[in-house]
Amino acid sequence: MMQKFSQLIITLQIIGMIVDTQSELPCKIYNYDNADCSSRLLTTFPKDLPLNVTHINLQFNNIEELNKPILRYKKLEKLNLRKNKITFVSKVFINSLASLKYLDLSLNKLNGDCLHISSLTNILHIDISSSGIDEVFFKKRPFKNLRTLNTLIVRNNRLNRIPAGAFQGLEGSLEHLDLSNNDIHILPAEISKLQFLNKLVLSFNPLGRQSNFKLPTTFNNLMNLRYLYLSSCEIHTLSKDSFLPILDYNITLLNLAKNNFRCLNGSLNVANIDILNLTSTDISTTYGLQGVNIRQLSLTNCTRLIKDGVLQMNIMKGLCQSGLESIDLSWNGIKVVETGALSCLKELKSIKFEHNMLSNESIHNNEFSVMKKLQTLSLHNNSFRSLDIGALEPIKDTLNYLNLYENLLSGPIIKNSQIRYQNLIEFKILIRNIDLELILHSLDSIMPNLENLYIHQPTKHNKDKCRPNTALNDLEPTNFGQLELQKRPFAYLKTFELSGYRFRDASEFENFLIFVSQTLNRLKIEDCNLEATFSWHNLPDMKHLKYLSLEENKISIFPEDILKKTSRLSHLDMSSNCLKKISYSVISNLTDIEMIDLSDNEIKNLGSDLFQLPKLHTMILYNNGVKNINADFISGLNGLTYLDVSKNNFQCDCDLYRFRNWLNTDKKVNLPDLAEYECSRNQENECLLLEYNPSRFVCFSRTILICIGLVVGSIFIVSLASFICYRRRYSVRFAWYWVKIKCRPGLHHYQPVLQATNDFDVYIASSPNDFSWIRWTLIPNLEDTDDPIRLCIKERNFPIGGNIMEDIIEFIQASRKTMLILTPDFVLNEWNYFELQRAMIHALEEKQDLIIPVLLKPIEDKDLPRLLREIQLRKGFIEWTEHPLGKELFWKDLIKAIRDNSTVNRYTQSEISKWRKRSVTSMTYSNVI
């Protein structure tokens, strides 16, 4: 008994492993109509999504072919198939996407012959970038029926030209066309037919390699063109007529970055351009822009403009009449701005000198004096030593944003600054030799209306992230509170970020927060060594704080004191610390928390303590060494929609199995990079989480295992019995009726239809679909003659309301012979097969050949039932034909077969027993199909 039970358990384990192996992780459903199936290792299109789904994300899977229709999703509007292994998209698949508006097939392995999209009549957006598309695809004119398409992305493919008629059908709809990163040498004139084109991207094509660059004259039809991208197109020379077809247009953006032309040669001298990008070109003067109306200009890394590190006045004269509002002169090696070089740019609102070599003396004191509208100035990564930059004195009341990151400023010099920036809202600064108290007091007096403050001190990092870092050139910090405050500091400060500073003790940190926390709603303290040994008791109540980041601070214990004072937090970032566990009691008090980032810590286990955080939707536990995730812990986060637990050390055990069960049942939580999650059985054996399929039975107790075995066994037996009964339902019904006849032959509940024996010559067994032939052909030729043959026809002779099974048996018994009208419909009809069975039994009982097979329509050999195949081999079929001579032979043979009264026994007793057994037990309807 125990041996049999053990075998049953082993069998159930094998079944469970098979089921687990074949099961795939389900998609996540958002808002009832948005399905996220990304990174699920899917190889086929999912079939179990909600019927009303409108968005399906299938990116980062292993789907290879789309060759079947998906009629189930009639409301599907957006389909993302990015980064699969798709090589073929069939017409039937595309035809089933009648409502589709957005299709992304990028990063697949398609080509022109394997993509059929002509039936997407409602499509708005198609992305087939990086999919191996070549000109063969365009030669088939695939867009001729896509009258609604407005965005087409074909970048990074194998196009070297655009054939004629490629964009047929898009003339009245296409607004955005991206052909970048191909090998197009000649600008295609076909584009000029797209009269509503608004954005054209041709970057990274060798359009200027062979000759001077020139737009085709047909481009003057593009009246709606506003965005033109021509970066990295190997343009060496521009002429006056290079952009002649579009010079009368109001271009919003013209991108000519990373080309090799040295001058503009008047190519843009009458254009109106909002944004002009000349980054990394070889231009040496701006004269080509004289008189051009430009709002924003990028001259980043145009080193030929700068001679010996000097930004000269004659170089910039071409911009004096441009009405320029924003200019970017970063990465040009500028050491000095020549007096008057910028003085004619009166309309400037923003200027960037990032990554140059400017200092306090590099810019003349009056250089910005004419810029009455200047609000944004970025001097990031230069050589400024103090805030007393003479050139900023004239614009101190207009500046809203000042960036002095990566300069040579130090605390004492800032403290002595004499310039007050009355309206400055945002300030970014990197400082060496920090005396934080004095700096904050100084900035509060220099910038009284400051709202956003970013202070960084450079730090030398240790390889061990849990060892304190060292500040470069750091002074001994002092305690806050030694100076008496005349007013509340930083009355308008909303955002404060401090990184690299070394707090000496808890008292200094407490005083710092008291100083800056009055109105803060965003606070970031990064890499400031807030050690876990600090005990903060006098922290202020930061009731307005919504965002708190304590990233990279060597914290090993949750800072409970801080979190108790920030009860209204919505975002908490504790990443890159040394936390070993989560303090659930503290986090559970954050009732407004929406996002918690605990990535890059040392949390090994997530406890089973549940906390209810109704607003929490994002939790990040990236790179922590977590071994398992308790599913009960996760299910307690009712509002969770995003969970990142990648780069952890999962153990392949029952806890992980339960976590996988939770993944299978949850429909809303998104796990990024899920396909890359791994678990290990030991140090040397690792596998992907989605491929880990342990036996589910090892994770249950013996009692539960026995109960599951009994339940599964019972269900299996009942299901098997039900399946067998269903498949053989007609044989079961017939056998039951046969037993009833044999056991009680004198107590039938019906009366014979006809009293005499052999009241009919022939019983006609046929499909209802063939009654027309019987009515108009068979009856006239057999009954309506001088010597009529009596036919029994179901549609005519069966009593109304009778039991069809009983009628079939009785009328076959009352007929001398049975004629089978064989057609493809006959072999698919269950009652015709029952008639065949009954006719065979009648023949066996009478020991005569009473079956006449008539082949009315050809039947393929593979569709012919076994019993009919044996009849065919034994005696053949009488075949119907439309040939006049063939008809005569047909009626002659048929009448002869009907009138033949031979009683010669053609069957041996063993054959009769064999056929009787097949008729009663084996010849079920399933044999027909």
Report how far residue 771's alpha carbon sits from residue 779's, in angstroms, rounded to the nearest whole number.
10
Asked if residues 827 and 865 have their Cβ atoms less than 8 Å apart, the reply is yes
**pLDDT given at position 1:** 45
Angle of helix 804-813 relative to helix 729-743, nearest 10 degrees, comes to 60
d(CA 811, CA 814): 5
Structure confidence at residue 923 as a pLDDT band (50, 70, 90): very low
Strand 336-337 and strand 78-80: the pairing is: unpaired
- The whole-number pLDDT of residue 19 equals 39
Please report, rounded to a whole number, the percentage of residues in the chain having pLDDT higher than 70. 83
Across 620-641, average pLDDT: 79
Which pLDDT score, from 0 to 100, does residue 112 have? 66
Q: Are 854 and 877 in contact (CB under 8 A)?
A: yes
Task: Name which residue leads in pLDDT, 446 or 231.
Answer: 231
847 — alpha (psi -120 to 50), left (phi > 0) or beta?
left
- How confident is the model over 37-89, as pLDDT tens digits? 888 888 999 888 888 999 999 998 999 989 888 888 989 999 999 999 999 89
Q: 51-55, 543-547, 628-632, 865-869 — which is least confidently predicted?
A: 628-632
pLDDT of residue 848: 84
- Chain centre to alpha carbon of residue 493: 40
Q: Which two tokens stand for residue 358?
A: 């400017």
Selected residue with higher pLDDT from 572 and 669: 572
Closest CA to 244 of 224, 268, 260: 268
Four-CA torsion 607, 613, 617, 623, nearest 10 degrees: -20
List the alpha helices (DSSP H) in 829-924. Answer: 830-846, 866-875, 884-899, 909-917
Radius of gyration of the chain (CA): 43
Please give the pLDDT value at position 77.
Answer: 94
pLDDT of residue 469: 64
Of residues 254, 263, 256, the one with CA closest to residue 286: 263
Band of the pLDDT at 755, cuts 50, 70, 90? very low
Per residue in 600-627, pLDDT (tens digit) is 998 888 766 656 788 888 999 999 888 8
Query: For residues 371 and 532, which has the higher predicted lDDT (pLDDT)?
Result: 371
273-283 mean pLDDT: 94
735 Cβ neighbours under 8 A, 6+ residues apart: 920
Report pLDDT for 575. 92
Model confidence at 640, in pLDDT bands (50, 70, 90)? Answer: confident
Check residue 925 and give its pLDDT.
30
The lowest-confidence range among 92-96, 103-107, 656-660 is: 656-660
Please, which pLDDT band fits residue 752 given cuts at 50, 70 and 90? very low
Give pLDDT, residue 609.
Answer: 64
Q: Give the model's confidence band at 735: pLDDT under 50 very low, under 70 low, under 90 confident, else very high.
A: low
Contact 196, 224 (CB under 8 A): yes
Closest CA to 208 of 241, 161, 242: 242
Largest distance between two CA atoms of the chain: 134
Burial class (CB in 10 A: 0-12, 13-18, 19+), 309: middle
pLDDT at residue 750 in the model: 37
Q: At what angle do helices 830-846 and 866-875 cross, to 10 degrees?
A: 50
Backbone angles phi, psi at 102, to 5 degrees: -135, 125
Burial of 901 (0-12, 13-18, 19+ CB in 10 A): exposed
> Would you state the structure tokens that stand for residue 808, as one six-digit string?
């079939």
Per-residue pLDDT tens digits for 890-914: 999 999 999 887 543 444 455 445 4
DSSP assignment of 249-301 equals SEEEEEE--S---S--TTTTTT-EEEEEE-TT-----SGGGTT-EEEEEE-TT
Q: What is the DSSP letter of 60?
A: S
Residues 6+ positions from 662 with CB-CB distance below 8 Å:
631, 634, 635
